[in-house]
Structure 1
Amino acid sequence: MAYDQANTYETIELFGLTEKDAELPIPEDHILKDSIIRETFETLLGQLRGTGLEAEIEPLAHGLATILQRRKVVLTKEVDRTADKISALAKCHDGSEIAETALEEAQARFLHLREIVGAIEVMSEAAAECYEVETGNAFIPASGSRANARAQETGAVFEAKQLLEQHDRETAAKSKVEGVPLIVSGATDWTDIDVIFNTLDKVRDRIKQNRNQDIFVCHKGGKHGAEMIAARWARARGIAQARFDPRWSAHGRAAPFKCNDEMLDDKFAATGVVLFGGNGVALNLGQKAEAKGVTVMRVADPAKKVTES
């Protein structure tokens, strides 16, 4: 036993199998159906045919299929609970790092659970089919129903769910951010309000002409300098804002650079970056943006030009 354990640990270390389950891939559907479920049924039940245990094939096959069915129900309920948690976290979000981290973790958990439920559902249906092929009987779970729960809703329940779904859609529509993201960053000691207001007005007009869309401003929520002035510009113009607060406790000194990565993530599809002066963080943002093919506008601080001359 000690040798087997040591060998297992060496194998894990050799192949780097140290990921958490959320980081490991979900097998494809054909693997779930054929290599896992059908081979499992054949391995267990095939050896019982033509023996004194042949009568046990039906209850064993039914038990295997039922286990997967029940697991699917449990996981589906957990998905619903996680969705409720995300909704609650979004409503009470106070802009703090703790709230931001909790919301991101809940979203990641929700997406991972949905993948697992989909895989278990594929396995469950494959197991039910194997049971029916093996016994010639239709698979009916010991409790509950194999059919979709929605098919058994009463009229009142259906109407109630329709009402809630409509409410969710209306709430989402109110909070939906329209337009294309424009990333703004820069020096914390920037003081020239007019330069930022005039520059962003021109950038906004140009994007409207070229893409027939308005912008929304993405920034790191700086309380001083260029980002604070850009936030004031957005409020004055009725422009939506997306704030990417650095999470210092999670990322330490790398927190602002992590924010740069988040703002430049492909899912946001930033239309451009405007840098008003800046420091190493702003320089990093500009370099990363250009490496991704995003247009970068750099605006020099007039106050520093005067000082230098």
Structure 2
Amino acid sequence: MFEPYFAPLPTAFDDSREQPPEAQLEQLGHVLMAEVVDVLSDTQLEDFRTTICEALIGAFHSAAQRIEREADKQRDEINRLMRENDGSEVADVELQEATAKTRAADMAVAAVEAIRDAAAQAYTSATGEVWTAWRGAVRASRTTAAQIEARDALRTAKARKHAATDPGATVVAFRAAPQADTADDAHRIFDALNWARQQWPDMALATTGAKGGEKIAIKWAQQKKVTLVLAKADFDKNGRAAPFRANDQLLDLDPVCVLTLPNTLNSERGAGLQPFGPALNLGQKAAEKGVRHVPVKSRA
């Protein structure tokens, strides 16, 4: 996917250096993450492995965002040069240089995102955990689904009300208990989300990204290339009310359906465990607003 895009660009801005091929970029991401997981496993740092691994993947994500901001500045410079172009050779050279810098930055963004996505895949394969960006959007690629923040989606939805020709994606919201992470839960979560996608083929999945069943739902979205909308609980701002404020954000997205799994479907693990309050709360609020609520249950 990268090589056809990258190949003609070096000669376009007179740079003889080659762009690393896609396979090497992906290998770099896999190797880096595999090495980190291997070194930390079975040591005292294993308890902090998730934080360290996610911080490493996040570093590549931050790097891509930083380079992209530089590319945006160059695009602004290109627009300025085009407005002020007087037809001179000097102006033409300046425009070519700005264009070359923009292309180089765009290539660098794509390359860093390839490393990030490969590292995230290796992380999931090694630990079963799913990396999601703490802030900002993640563009969809061949191997990942798009990810956007709920507040950004809400701003876009408000703007879309003035553009009748852009209906946008259909949102399906999902909340699940942290303990709903067994094989029984995974099978039924996948069944429920597959059903939802049959009902609304253009669906986007909205969740808070919490541990347990919601991480399983994110894996499904990545496999199906379904856009993710993350309304993460902000405990620094809202304290104990954060999971419930996240529910309000999910409902503000005007979902067509809410799916909930307030407890694990594994009878042995679920014995004695209380249902997950935030999942129950989302189902109750959905019913009060007249939003369709479908609890995820065991097979009959």
- Same fold by TM (over 0.5)? no
Q: TM-score range by the shorter chain?
A: 0.3 to 0.5
- Flag the structure with larger Rg: 1
Higher share in helix: 1
User: TM-score, length-normalised on structure 1?
Assistant: 0.41
